[in-house]
Amino acid sequence: MKFFVDTADTAEIADLAATGLLDGVTTNPSLIAKSGRKFLDVIAEICALVDGPVSAEVTALDTPTMLKEAAVLRKIAPNVTIKAPLTWDGLKACKALSSEGVSVNVTLCFSANQALLAAKAGAAFISPFIGRLDDIGEDGMQLIRDIRTLYDNYPALKTEILAASIRSPEHVKQAALIGADVVTVPPSVLRDLAKHALTDKGLDAFMADWAKSGQTIL
């Protein structure tokens, strides 16, 4: 499974990228707005920090303007992935861009039918929003299962399932068990994946015994 981080905080991205565990980054207009910086500048800095895909979202709602915005975003760096909403205009833009070999992340997916349309339009990634479905009483993880089954039924579809709106390490585990290709997570959730109470307890015991030995390595 690939790990993307969902943030526009370049300091966080740099720190996580240093681990070698980060495969890409996703952003959206809300995350960029929180940074208080210029959109194009943030995307350019992120692209310089990671080698993998960096999702930069168009803000237009009509296909022609989406394509114009995508042309600007594509010039930033070779690893820019154009992020487009799962609307008819977004699907048209996806088809046009993917036909030119451009990587497209179709976002705001809430049904398997939508995921099928995105794959038919040539999306490199489909982003189903798990947490937001959970918020309204639906089973977000079931959507990942449905999309995985649907895509596996048709091997010609090459779209990767990018599980989004991840709220916890449990979401990550379940998405991995189902077979999502990618998860995009907030920095805090990515760090929480390494945590376990027994790891902390064991380390404390090791360090206490080492201190009692009076030895040093250096």
DSSP structure class, residue 72: H
Polymer length of the chain = 218
Q: How far apart are CA 186 and CA 40, in angstroms?
A: 21
β-strand pairing of 125-128 with 104-109: parallel
The token pair that represents 144 in the structure block:
């990942």
Q: How far apart are CA 126 and CA 1, in angstroms?
A: 15
Distances from the Cα of 78 to the Cαs of 11, 43, 51, 52, in angstroms?
Answer: 21, 12, 9, 10
The token pair that represents 97 in the structure block:
């861009």
β-strand pairing of 54-57 with 80-85: parallel
Q: Which residues does the annotation mark as catalytic?
A: 83
Q: How far apart are CA 87 and CA 214, in angstroms?
A: 66
Q: What are phi and psi of 182, to 5 degrees?
A: -145, 150
